[in-house]
Structure 1
Amino acid sequence: MISELNLIPVIDLLQGQVVRAVRGDRQAYRPIVSALCASSDPVTVARILCDHCAARQLYVADLDALQGRDTQIAVLVDLLQALPDIELWLDAGLADASAGQALRSQLAPFAARIVFVYGSESLRSREALERCFDAAANEGARAALSLDRRDGRRLDAAGCWDAVDLWPERLIVMTLERVGSGAGPDLETLQEVRRLAPRAMLIGAGGIRSEDDLARAGAAGADAWLVASALHDLQLPRRAR
């Protein structure tokens, strides 16, 4: 029986191509080699992944932006135009509310279909955390907070993990060393976040290998999971719409 846990396919963009995530080590990412997609073209890969998962959302990590370079606006516009029924979750290394507002302006025709992701590894300060979700709400925009960690260490200059009262309604638990690892999902951390945020939409990331992993993630309190490697390696069956 197929798990009811929502799947959100992920594409990692680097210099205009989809690359394969390897334990969150961005220096090791290479153009995607996939049993599912015979291409590293972003639109081609996104279409195939979304179709395979019967997905209504697509998560895009802009690795150029996350490493301090320009956001890949042209690629993002191509994706938004090619997939008009998809909600795009965008992680582009946003450091504060003004960065989010600037990016929203650049993507203005599509802004209603974008969830802007603020990552704890990127937010510059507690003040930035306090302001970014208020600013998004005031502008009618949607946003999510990604609680990032690697090898048991929080990536969290802004103190996001401890600021439970500032958490928004959409939360991502991002365990970077599990991404592309085949090591299984980090359910212990997810359960702790679920305990602290019982009403949030909670999305896990990293480590999914099978439908059994998805079932365990759902039982642990996840509403959705970000997936990529398990799809490219044909570890998850096609879902019917």
Structure 2
Amino acid sequence: MAPTSEVSGNLTFTSFDVVPVLDLQDGGVVHARAGKQARAGKRADYRPIATPFGPPHDPPAIARALLGITFSPAMYIADLDAILGRGHNFDLCQALADALPGTDLWIDAGFANLDDCAFWLPLGATLVIGSETIASLEDWKAICGSLGRNLVLSLDFDEQGLRGPTELMSEPDLWPDRVILMSLGRVGTETGPDLDLLGKVVASAGDRHVYVAGGVATRDDVATVQEAGARGVLVATALHSGAIGQKEIAALRGGRRP
């Protein structure tokens, strides 16, 4: 499926994005070992990242490099300390926002309710609400009622199914305009995306944008997700390993660079 393009100011984006992921912990960039899940509490299994894009203590340098490779208008940032209830990296996220003007930062900080969200609103970023950290369906409705549709909902799945309020899958009218299909067990594994689940989510999504996270390992994985009707993928491991690079992403975008 050939990508179409959208023009915004002086930038041209295709209708499919490879969104880079940055995991923050203790003031630096870390990376998951295969099969380990931050939200499952496997904090000890994250290590300072080893990447050709910069040292782990320089998140802005790594972020700039990833955005230069992917041409993405957005970057997904997971604050693992906040997700695990062990502090936060708000000041570092503010530094990233200052260093990356024009980039839409998607912040995942383990939001459970509207009070959690309120702390992060001064950052001016897009908040990612993970289904497994939502305290209740009523809390989700309260978040949407206050913040509108300018949110990203992450539908978090493990081997047992959706983590969080089950109504979120049975009532897609509750979804905002952007939804992430997060396969937690595939994070860091490069085993490929869950295409069966993707088909179900895309069928329910209507005109909402669906993004895939977990297991995306190759250009073929990205192309398959695109053909299945997704709007984009969230990628970390394959970018740092070089399995997906600037050449592959430019080819997916029809050979065009913004």
Q: Deviations over 1:45-87 (max 9, x none)?
A: 1111111111211000000000012221110011000001211
> Which has the larger displacement, 223-232 or 96-105?
96-105
Q: 1:131 aligns with which of 142, 145, 157?
A: 142
Once residues 169 and 130 of structure 1 are traced to their aligned partners in structure 2, the CA distance between those partners, rounded to angstroms, is 15
Query: Which secondary structure does the structure 1 equivalent of 2:61 belong to?
Result: helix
**Structure-2 residue corresponding to 1:156:** 164
Q: 1:85 aligns with which of 89, 102, 107?
A: 102
Cα offset, 1:2, TM superposition: 9.6
- Percentage of identical aligned residues: 35
Cα offset, 1:158, TM superposition: 6.5
Runs of 4+ with deviation above 4 angstroms: 1-4
Structure 1 residues 1-241: aligned runs within 5 Å: 5-22=16-33, 23-26=35-38, 27=42, 28-34=45-51, 36-40=52-56, 41-105=58-122, 107=123, 111=124, 114-137=125-148, 142-157=150-165, 159-238=167-246, 239=250, 240-241=257-258
Once residues 120 and 150 of structure 1 are traced to their aligned partners in structure 2, the CA distance between those partners, rounded to angstroms, is 12
Amino acid at match of 1:10: V
Cα offset, 1:16, TM superposition: 0.9
Query: Which secondary structure does the structure 1 equivalent of 2:230 belong to?
Result: coil
Once residues 2 and 31 of structure 2 are traced to their aligned partners in structure 1, the CA distance between those partners, rounded to angstroms, is 25
Cα offset, 1:157, TM superposition: 4.3
The aligned length equals: 231
Once residues 197 and 158 of structure 1 are traced to their aligned partners in structure 2, the CA distance between those partners, rounded to angstroms, is 16
Q: Deviations over 1:165-215 (max 9, x none)?
A: 211111110001111101001111111011111211111101111111111
Q: Considering only aligned residues, what root-mean-square deviation do their CA atoms show, in Å? A: 1.9
Residues 158, 16 of structure 1: alpha-carbon distance in 2 compared, 3 angstrom cutoff: farther
8 A Cα contact 1:183 1:207, kept in partner:
yes
Cα offset, 1:151, TM superposition: 2.3
Amino acid at match of 2:188: G
Once residues 237 and 95 of structure 1 are traced to their aligned partners in structure 2, the CA distance between those partners, rounded to angstroms, is 35
* Runs of 5+ unmatched residues, structure 1: none
Amino acid at match of 1:67: L
8 A Cα contact 1:187 1:217, kept in partner:
yes
Residues 159, 206 of structure 1: alpha-carbon distance in 2 compared, 3 angstrom cutoff: same
Once residues 36 and 227 of structure 2 are traced to their aligned partners in structure 1, the CA distance between those partners, rounded to angstroms, is 25
Amino acid at match of 1:235: A
> Which has the larger displacement, 153-162 or 195-204?
153-162
